């Protein structure tokens, strides 16, 4: 089932829930077709998009949501919530695009995220008097070009991060140019063994691995 409803930066207190653009729309995903397209990312993305928007109520609801966000000059927030179905979790949702072929993950007008439920309902709290702490990890090895990746200016990325966080956050840095490589092992070790971090800011190249 799929549901689309408006989300804005500020929703004033109201007596009833906000209107939904589409609600409880049954969807069908052909897992066999998606598996056949496993190694063709472009074809996979198109097939997934066509399956998602095949239902007219959902397609129309999506268009209304897009028009609503554009009319308010707000980004469209897309939050994916999957509950208890391993086959649905196995779908490569990061490849999804809209009806015009714009990738959710790459769009500057769409904020796409996965929502993970938890049985732990305890509220997360920050101790009074403590500054928020962020770990900035910049993965910029010197041999990126040898593997077909563009080089990363670690110093420039670090400056951008510090400018974005300002003076309100305590910033720790992890990266080859700053004394310790931002490897997966080192990032995990810092998160587990270092001070308590409220945010991880990661700068790196990415590649899609199949299988």
Q: In this predicted structure, what is the pLDDT of residue 39? A: 84
With a cut of 70, list the residues of the chain below it in pLDDT: 1-19, 84-85, 117-130, 207-211
- pLDDT by residue (tens digit) across 129-172? 667 889 999 988 888 888 888 888 988 998 888 888 888 788 88
Query: Which residues 6+ apart lie within 8 Å of 13 measured at CB?
Result: none
Q: In this predicted structure, what is the pLDDT of residue 1? A: 47
- Residues recorded for the chain: 211
Q: In this predicted structure, what is the pLDDT of residue 34? A: 92
Residue ranges of the domains in the chain?
2-115, 132-203
| pTM, 2 dp | 0.58
Distance between CA atoms of residues 105 and 201, nearest Å: 17
Q: In this predicted structure, what is the pLDDT of residue 12? A: 38
Asked if 61 and 99 count as a contact pair (C-beta separation under 8 A), the reply is no
Q: In this predicted structure, what is the pLDDT of residue 166? A: 81
Q: In this predicted structure, what is the pLDDT of residue 130? A: 67
Q: In this predicted structure, what is the pLDDT of residue 8? A: 35
The backbone region for 129, taken as left when phi is positive above 0, alpha when psi lies in -120 to 50, beta otherwise, is left
Q: In this predicted structure, what is the pLDDT of residue 175? A: 82
């Amino acid at each position: 089932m799929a549901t689309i409803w408006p989300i804005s930066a500020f929703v004033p207190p109201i007596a009833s829930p906000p209107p939904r653009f589409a609600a409880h729309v049954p969807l069908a995903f052909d897992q066999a077709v998606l598996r056949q397209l496993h190694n063709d990312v472009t074809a996979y993305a198109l097939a997934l998009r066509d399956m998602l928007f095949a239902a007219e109520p959902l397609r129309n609801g999506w268009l209304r949501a897009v028009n609503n966000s554009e009319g308010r000059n707000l980004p469209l927030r897309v939050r994916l919530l999957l509950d208890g179905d391993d086959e649905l979790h196995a779908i490569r949702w990061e490849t999804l695009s809209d009806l015009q072929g714009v990738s959710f993950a790459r769009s500057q007008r769409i904020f796409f995220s996965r929502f993970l439920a938890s049985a732990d309902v305890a509220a997360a709290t920050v101790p009074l008097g403590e500054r928020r702490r962020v770990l900035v990890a910049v993965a910029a090895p010197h041999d990126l070009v040898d593997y077909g990746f563009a080089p990363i200016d670690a110093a420039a990325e670090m400056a951008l991060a510090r400018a974005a966080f300002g003076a309100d956050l305590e910033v720790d840095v992890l990266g080859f140019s700053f004394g310790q490589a931002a490897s997966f092992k080192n990032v995990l070790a810092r998160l587990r063994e270092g001070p308590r971090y409220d945010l991880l800011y990661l700068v790196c190249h990415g590649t899609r691995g199949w299988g």
